[in-house]
Chains A and B, each alone.
Chain A
């Protein structure tokens, strides 16, 4: 049986990115129900990202009408602005990084990251990326139909999966395919014919380059009869979405994915089935489903505690929570994301990021285990950054400079352990950082080394515990 505080910690590990010292201390005097209510309650509101002020196309529109401007010059200017907005993706990234552990938004933010992976869109236009991200955030806890429909009408998605090129004369199947394969039913639950017919239904779904608003171009839309999943009619995109949501397989597919994100990498069929039933019956109410999961007895079963391999984002935010790590130059966080292989706004494929064990191989494991030690010393972790668009090495040199501006909040952690004997310190730190007892051998070795430390014993101990393979799990 888990103690009350272990349960609260598990909830924070999964619903958010672990606990800060303050949150950990407050939880000792709190109740699980209260904590869950607070976590969900704090995420009712939404904090949209605002780093990118305007659409790079907007001012150009007026110039374009004015025939006295040279077209070639305008095109060049446009390319320049798109490039600038790409650079600004960095500001968008750091704004979101700060927000992901904001106590006033944690559940919504972690869920927004889930949708960012689910709808893995890349956009060269930073303004589009920002709109897209805010759409995910706005509907993160709402009804999945609203989320899906908003995403389907969103400029980043329309551009990324080529629906801009989807018209009656020459349908483009890209969006329709991913809609069925990745966003709703999952592989094996539709035919190639379904994809073709769905693509026709989404013809004419475009966005306006200047206003970034969705536009339905009826002369490009194929209004003819379509045969989709055994039904015939003059379906449009919304009809297709309604039909795939009416299929219970969609509730199952999404539940399995959410189970993996919040509960365990090993699927548990009966539980996923229960989640799917609930989700389907609530008309795909995401908040209801999450509250159900976080209140379920099975969620706090021993087998689900401390059993998930952290994604690089979870690892990084966990470190920020545990150690109060912040950077005067927040772009250091971008360098760290690149080093660890998970940079916001740059999912590696339309399928999103790796999951679970896929994150671990010989190279990544030692880099991840050494990470806290290097961050604590503001030292270069010596991880070469793969950046297909940059020349070799440049970003690494700059990254090492940025990391020097980091600071960890040691006084807070030291105060937490003040007045304790070595054994108690060790237990308290294991509890705080790992949330599950350590193997007795490791613990004994840690204790005997701890006794040899003169000053900075707490730093040594905390950094050493965070260097264990156990710290890679939550």
Chain B
């Protein structure tokens, strides 16, 4: 059969129709992520530097109102959580999680000698390095390296994106990035992966760069096959808000429900760099975040998947205590962080930030973020945290 015009770029097969993968590539044993122990960690990254003080509002603090004459949230609008602190009014979803006793709010999280550049501070959060160190692998990537010596499939960690973030890049192993399983499967199919693997079976074992490319292609194809098999089995009927972020959480819920052996999922919501006109912008973003989280937790609960899921939310830094001249806030330092799950010590984990003892107009951190990572690794994923963090950090008792 001749291919007609217009179809020249059709993704035609390189082999006769009907050819399938070589059996060794669908061997289910090589598809296993051995480190999976039934516990799942979901990480949510708020990119751009979320203003923590207008997220968890110190509504009894005079300094807060003095330093933010236009930006401060009125005490009668705050969704009160304790006598001192309350959520931004856009966060009713998170408020109900707080009321349900599944949310722990950890204040004043940061690291020594904070860096106020987005990308540098984000790198520090992703790698777990000190602020004067530059590391090229991420804390979750090193978790993969350490916990899986014979893994060939990268689906132990799944990021909802098309470019893999540094946090999930290890020395030896990488996580899998896909903005959604269907498009990932299509892409792998379009790349003719399975045919190319058959045609180049020997190449994948070579130590050359070409061998590395084919080896990666084999792994990709295995992951695709694995995801395809799993995802067929489960679809959630729950309704989620319309946002792209909510769609990502819905995808995660479906991947969890399908029984994927994935220990860590990673999703991001961007736009928090509110230098100007912060109030409306941040409220809209926090609402997107909060509504999606509520829908996600409800969905997991309904399907009995919540008890083995822990959700951690962070941002690369908080913002300055005082507002700037454009009704916004500039880059700051320490920030609050949320942990959601049935096993968390719910409520306000520690005291509210001190707004008078500042470092150059910025909050001083009280808890090193790597202690949060260590806690999650040791007490939730149940692995040694030192391999992943390269140093020893004391765990906290929020789990």
- Could you tell me which A residues sit within 8 Å of B by CB distance? 72, 75-76, 79, 122, 177, 265, 307-309, 339, 341, 346, 348-351, 354, 356-358, 360-367, 369-370, 373, 376-377, 382-384, 386-393, 439, 441-442, 445-446, 449, 452-457, 459-460, 463-464, 467-470, 472-473
Mask: chain B, 116-153; 1 = CB below 8 Å from A; 0 = not = 01111011000000001010100000000000000000
29 sample A-B contacts, Cβ–Cβ < 8 Å, listed by A number: A79-B325, A346-B119, A360-B212, A361-B174, A361-B176, A361-B177, A363-B177, A365-B213, A365-B216, A366-B187, A366-B191, A367-B162, A370-B187, A370-B190, A384-B161, A384-B179, A389-B273, A392-B269, A439-B200, A442-B14, A449-B14, A456-B5, A457-B8, A459-B8, A460-B8, A460-B9, A468-B196, A469-B200, A469-B214
In the assembled complex, the Cα of A152 lies from the Cα of B321 at a distance in Å of 33
Interfacial chain B residues near A389, Cβ < 8 Å:
47-48, 118, 270-271, 273
* Whole-angstrom CA separation of A351 from B199 in the bound complex: 38
> CA A369 – CA B9 in complex, angstroms?
14
Q: How far is the CB of B158 from chain A (nearest CB, A)?
A: 10
- For A341, the chain B residues whose CB sits under 8 A away are 163
List residues of chain B with CB within 8 A of the CB of A470: 210
CB distance from A159 to the nearest CB of B (A): 11
Contact A361 B136, beta carbon cutoff 8 Å: no
8 Å CB interface, B383-399 against A = none
State in angstroms the CA–CA spacing of A308 and B219 once bound together.
Answer: 21
Q: Tell me which residues across on chain B come within 8 A of A358, comparing CB atoms.
A: 136, 169
User: B residues within 8 A CB of A442?
Assistant: 14, 196, 199-200
Contacts of B178 in A (CB 8 A): 363
Q: Are A79 and B200 in contact (CB under 8 A)?
A: no
**A369-B191, A388-B47 given as contacts; is B273 within 8 A of A307 (CB)?**
no
CB distance from A27 to the nearest CB of B (A): 24
Given A389-B118, A449-B12, do A366 and B1 touch, yes or no (CB 8 Å)?
Answer: no
Report B21 CB to chain A, min CB distance, Å.
16
Interface presence of B344 (CB below 8 A): no
Residues of A within 8 A of B270 (CB): 387-392
Q: Which residue of the partner chain B has the closest CB to A368?
A: B191
B side interface size, CB within 8 A:
72
**Is B3's CB within 8 Å of the partner chain A?**
yes
Query: Which B residues are within 8 Å of any A CB, using their own CB?
Result: 1-5, 8-9, 11-15, 47-48, 117-120, 122-123, 132, 134, 136, 154, 161-166, 169, 174-179, 183-184, 187-188, 190-193, 195-196, 199-200, 203, 208-210, 212-214, 216-217, 219-220, 223, 243-245, 268-271, 273, 285, 325-326
A369 to B199: give the CA distance in the assembly, Å.
16
Cα distance, A449 to B2, chains bound together (Å): 10
The reply to whether A472 and B213 contact each other, CB–CB distance below 8 Å, is yes
Cβ-neighbour of A445 out of B15, B193, B244 (below 8 A): B15
Q: How far is the CB of B196 from chain A (nearest CB, A)?
A: 7
Q: Which residues of B contact A307 (CB under 8 A)?
A: 208-210
- Min CB–CB distance A220 → chain B (angstroms): 19
Q: How far is the CA of A456 from the CA of B192 in the complex (A)?
A: 20
Q: How far is B176's CA from A390's CA once the two chains are assembled, in angstroms?
A: 23
Question: Is the Cβ of B187 less than 8 Å from the Cβ of A367?
Answer: yes
- In the bound assembly, the distance between CA atoms of A383 and B199 in angstroms comes to 27
**Which partner residue on chain A sits nearest B118 by CB separation?**
A388
A360 to chain B: which residues have CB within 8 Å? 212-213, 216
14 extra A-B contacts, CB within 8 A, seeds A393-B244, A459-B9, A469-B200: A76-B325, A309-B212, A339-B163, A356-B209, A357-B209, A361-B169, A361-B175, A362-B177, A363-B184, A366-B187, A366-B191, A370-B190, A452-B2, A468-B196
* Contact B210 A469, beta carbon cutoff 8 Å: yes
Residue among B119, B122, B245 having the largest count of chain A Cβ atoms under 10 Å? B119
Q: How far is the CB of A346 from chain B (nearest CB, A)?
A: 8
